[in-house]
Amino acid sequence: MSFPLLTATAVVPAIGAIATAALPAAKRTAAKWLALLFSLLTFALALVVAFRFDPGAKGPFQLTESHAWIRDFGVRYELGVDGIAVALIALTALLVPFVILAGWHDADTLEEATPNRRWRPTQGFFALILAVEAMVVISFEATDVFLFYIFFEAMLIPMYFLIGGFGDRAGADGEERSAGRRSQAAVKFLLYNLAGGLIMLAAVIGLYAVTADQLGTGTFSLTQIVDARAAGQLDLGTTTERLLFLGFFFAFAVKAPLWPLHTWLPGAMSESTAPVAVLITAVVDKVGTFAMLRFCLQLFPQASSWATPVILILALISIVYGALLAVAQRDIKRLIAYASISHFGFIILGIFAMTSQGQGGATLYMVNHGISTAALMLVAGFLISRRGSRLIADFGGVQKVAPMLAGTFLIGGLATLSLPGLAPFVSEFLVLVGTFSRHPVIGVIATLGIVLAALYVLVLYQRTMTGPVKSEVSAMPDLRARELVVVAPLIALLLFLGVYPKPLTDLVNPAVEHTLSVVDKKDPKPTAQVNAVPGSGRTGHAASDQDVEAAK
> Is there a contact between 431 and 353 (Cβ–Cβ < 8 Å)?
yes
> For residues 435 and 442, is the Cβ–Cβ distance under 8 A?
yes
> CA-to-CA distance for 421 and 373, rounded, in angstroms?
16
Q: Is the CB of residue 436 less than 8 Å from the CB of residue 447?
A: no
Cα(178)–Cα(363) distance, integer angstroms: 37
Is residue 74 within 8 Å of residue 222, measured between CB atoms? Answer: no
Gap between the Cα atoms of 281 and 540, Å rounded: 49
Residues 6 or more apart in contact with residue 446 via CB below 8 angstroms: 316, 319, 346, 349, 431, 432, 435
End-to-end CA distance of the chain: 59
d(CA 536, CA 324): 51
Domain extents in the chain: 5-521, 526-552
Q: With residue 69 as reference, give the H or E element that holds it.
A: strand 62-70
Q: CA distances (Å), 508 to each of 233, 303, 312, 364, 436, in order?
A: 29, 24, 22, 8, 21
pLDDT at 375: 93
Q: What is the pLDDT of residue 527?
A: 60
Q: What's the pTM value of the predicted model, to 2 decimals?
A: 0.90
Helix (H, G, I), strand (E, B) or coil at 70: strand
Contacts of 355 (CB under 8 A, 6+ apart): 434, 435, 437, 438, 516, 521, 523, 524
Closest C-alpha to 156, from 287, 8, 294? 287
If DSSP codes are grouped into helix, strand and coil, which group holds residue 501? coil
What pLDDT score was predicted for residue 525?
74
pLDDT in tens, the chain (552 residues): 578 999 999 999 999 999 999 988 888 889 999 999 999 999 999 999 999 999 888 878 999 998 888 887 888 899 999 999 999 999 999 999 999 999 888 887 776 656 555 667 888 899 999 999 999 999 999 999 999 999 999 999 999 999 988 877 665 455 667 777 888 888 999 999 999 999 999 999 999 999 888 888 888 899 999 888 888 888 888 899 999 999 999 999 999 899 998 899 998 888 888 999 999 999 999 999 999 999 999 999 999 999 999 999 999 999 999 999 999 999 899 999 999 999 999 999 999 998 989 999 999 999 999 999 999 999 999 999 888 888 898 888 888 999 999 999 999 999 988 899 999 999 999 999 999 888 899 989 999 888 898 999 999 999 999 888 888 888 888 889 999 999 999 999 999 999 999 999 989 999 888 888 888 777 777 665 545 445 544 444 444 444 434 333
- How many C-beta atoms lie closer than 10 Å to residue 299's C-beta? 22
Q: Where are the beta strands (DSSP E) in 425-544?
A: 529-532, 539-542
Taking the CA atoms of 342, 444, 363 and 460 in sequence, report the sign of the dihedral they define: negative
DSSP single-letter state for residue 547: H
Q: Rounded to whole angstroms, how far apart are CA atoms 209 and 344?
A: 33
